[in-house]
Structure 1
C-alpha cells in the first residue's frame, strides 16, 4: 500500500483532502481510483489507512478507515553528521540511513573534505537529499521523514552540536588501537528520548584537531569494530547497532 507524508498535524477529522505533489502521484503516477487505500502520515507522527472517496481535477478526498498501529521510530532521535564525502556518497547515506531509522542528517565541511559547496550548491543538494529521504521514509514505512541540514561553515556546525544530549564520534584511530567498548556502553546507557548526534569523517577521516574540539564538548570517541569502514558504511553500522540495542534486546 502506498504511503504519503502530509504537511499538517492529525486533528481527529476523518475526511482528508490531498492536493499538490501527493495528488499528482496518486492520480497521474499510480492511477488510483475510488476505493483504493493508502497510508497517510501526519506531521505529529500519526498514520492512518484512508480510502479514496472522490477524485476531482485537483483534489483527492479520502475517508479514514483505521489508524496504523506499531512503533516505527527509534526510541531516541539519532542524527547522522557526515563530513562532506565525494560523489554521491551522501545520497547513499541518506537513503540507507533513513531506512535504518535516522532522525536527521547533517553535512559539514570537515578538514579532510575534498568537496567544496557554496550556498547555491548546498541549497540544490539539500532539496535533492530531502526528496531522497522522503521517498526512503515512505518505502520503509517510517512515521517521520528525516530532516536535512547542510552547513557551509564548520563553525556553524560546531555551534549546532550544542543542541544534542549525547555526542558519538566514530574515529578510525580508536578502531586501530582495538577500542571496542565505548559504543556498546554508550548505547546501553543513553536514556530514551535523548537527542544523539553521531559524527563521521569524510574519506580522509577526522583530524586530531577535530577530535580535540569534539572531546571538549564531552563527545564519546569510539571505534566501530576491528575493521576500518568506508565513510558511507560507518553510519549504517552505527544505526544498525543502535537498532539492535534499543529495539531488539
Structure 2
C-alpha cells in the first residue's frame, strides 16, 4: 500500500461530511501543515477506526476533499475473535502499555483498580481523554484500520461480575501453581471459538500482587489462573507479553480455519 500520511477521523464526523469536504480541527491542521508539511493537492489517507480507509486530498490548510466517500479505498471486516487486556493501572508505564497493546492488535483495553494498587489518585476524566489520544496516535502509526476501545476504570471484582457468556477471562498470576500457561488456556477454548465470536481477556494484576480477598473471589468464581512466564514480570512487560500471545493465537486460528 502507498506510504501516505494517515489521519484518524471519528466515524461520526465522516458520516456528517457534506459535499465531500472535511473541515480539520486546529490540532489536525497543525499536524498536517506544520508536522507532516503536507502541501495543497497532495494525498493522505483518512481512516475512521472502524475498518474503512479513504484517500483524501488537501485542498486548503484546514480542509480535505474525500471524493469517493461512499466507496472506501479499503475496508476490513471486524475480527470474529476479539482480544482484551485488563490491567491494574501501574504507578508508571501505562501510556506505553496503551501504545504497544494497540500496535500489537488488542481490541479492548480495560483499566482496573485493585486493593494493592500503587497509584489510586488519578483524575480519570482527564486521563481517559489522554489515553484515547495515545491510542489514536498508535493506530495511525501502526496503520491499523480498527481502533481499540478503552473503557472507564473499574474495580477488578466488579468488572469480573459484569462479564457475560460471550467473554472468556484468564487471570495472570505469579508464585502460584497453575494448570495452564496462557497459550494452553487459549487452546483449551477451541470448542468455544468454533461457535464463532467472543472476547478473550487476560487480566494483569498490580505490581504488589492480588490481595487474599481478590484471590478468594477468583477461586469461588472458578476464574482460571494462567502463567505468562517463569520469571516475575513488571506490569508493562506482562501486558505486552500477554497481548503478543493473544494476537499470535488469533493469527494461528485464522490460518487453521
TM-score, shorter chain, exceeding 0.5: yes
- Secondary structure of 1:125 counterpart: helix
Equivalent residue runs for 1:69-108 within 5 Å: 75-87=80-92, 89-108=93-112
Tell me which of 112, 115, 130 is aligned to 2:116.
Answer: 112
Q: Is the 8 A contact 1:161 1:197 kept in 2?
A: no
Match of 1:183 in 2: 185
Q: How far off is 1:216 after superposition?
A: 4.2
Q: Is the 8 A contact 1:23 1:60 kept in 2?
A: no
C-alpha distance in structure 1 between counterparts of 2:165 and 2:190, whole Å:
21
Q: Structure 2: which 5+ residue stretches go unaligned? A: none
Match of 1:2 in 2: 5
Tell me which of 31, 41, 47 is aligned to 1:25.
Answer: 31
**Deviation digits for residues 182-239 of structure 1 (CA, Å, limit 9, x no counterpart):** 4342464552531222211011122343233234444322111323222111121122
Q: Structure 1: which 5+ residue stretches go unaligned? A: none
**Deviation digits for residues 38-66 of structure 1 (CA, Å, limit 9, x no counterpart):** 221125421123333x215x422233496
Q: Does 1:122 align with 2:124?
A: yes
Tell me which of 34, 40, 45 is aligned to 2:46.
Answer: 40
Q: How far off is 1:33 after superposition?
A: 2.1
Match of 2:207 in 1: 203
* TM-score (normalizing by structure 1): 0.81
Match of 1:136 in 2: 138
Match of 1:166 in 2: 168
Q: Is the 8 A contact 1:8 1:43 kept in 2?
A: yes
Q: Is the 8 A contact 1:50 1:66 kept in 2?
A: no
C-alpha distance in structure 2 between counterparts of 1:3 and 1:219, whole Å:
41
Number of residue-to-residue matches in the alignment: 242
- Secondary structure of 2:114 counterpart: coil
Q: Is the 8 A contact 2:117 2:206 kept in 1?
A: yes
